[in-house]
Amino acid sequence: MIRFKTFITSLLISLSLISGAAQAKEAEAKVTPKVIFFDVNETLLDLGNVGKSVSAALGGRDELVPYWFTTMLHYSLVGNEIGQYNSFAEIGIASLEMIAKQQNIPLTSEQARKAVLTPFRDLAPHADVVEGLKRIRALGYKMITLTNSSDAGIAAQLKNSNLAQYFDGSLTVQNLETFKPDLKVYEWAQKEMNVAPEDAMLIAAHAWDIAGAEQVGWKTGFIIRPGKALYPLSGKPSLTGKDLIEIAEQLEADAK
């Protein structure tokens, strides 16, 4: 009888420990940051008009538009490595001129400048963005844009897209003269917002941006915009959704 009571006691203790561990694991799995940082281009704003403008500048060669964007990203990272900073817009213009020369397409510097700058500062948000931002803001999170754009560039974009009202501030790489996903950018951003890495989160539609934020200990939310995919050698994002509304729904569930 004594042995049976001892067994029951041990069993109850074990079950209690298992239940406590499960509750702790569930609490740890919940995504409840204090500050949410948002990438802007492609994540919030639709670059369709930029693509059309760049394609027109390249003689209607639609297939060159993704090449132009990746070239722009590539040379922003080249700038990081060699210590040479130019604004994202300047790099975009230079990349467009480079591709035109590679493809023997006539294009003047002024035409390249107009093709990039004119549409880039007047972009519309994706269809899901306004509702998604409203729902996330209703949860009480501090919301900050963190972009590779310049200070003037993001100010124009948020104003023209009517999204400025949803954010508590904007941070750009212009202040560091270093582009994401350099880890210094995320570390600087968290210090600016006085938030610990584990209390920061990045929402982005770029696998390379998610990888950078993850590396410094942030929570991450990946939006799977058309044509986007995660980098298999990086970790799994905290949240994943086809649009910002799905990310908002998961944040709402975790806030309960």
Going by pLDDT thresholds of 50, 70 and 90, the confidence category of residue 20 is: very low
Q: What is the pLDDT of residue 5?
A: 54
Q: Does residue 182 share a domain with residue 68?
A: no
What amino acid is encoded at 199 in this protein? D
Which CATH number characterizes residue 234's domain?
3.40.50.1000
- pLDDT reported for residue 29: 76
Distance in angstroms (rounded) separating the CA atoms of residues 175 and 160:
22
Total domains in the fold of the chain:
2
What is the tens place of the pLDDT at every residue in 27-64?
457 999 999 999 999 999 999 999 999 999 999 999 99
What pTM was estimated for this model as a whole? 0.87
Q: Is residue 27 part of a domain?
A: no
> What's residue 256's pLDDT?
87
Q: Which residues contact 81 (CB under 8 A, 6 or more apart)?
A: none
Same domain, 42 and 70: no
DSSP labels for 138-191?
A: HTT-EEEEEESS-HHHHHHHHHHTT-GGG-SEEEEGGGTT--TTSHHHHHHHHH
The residue segments making up the domain with residue 76 are 48-120
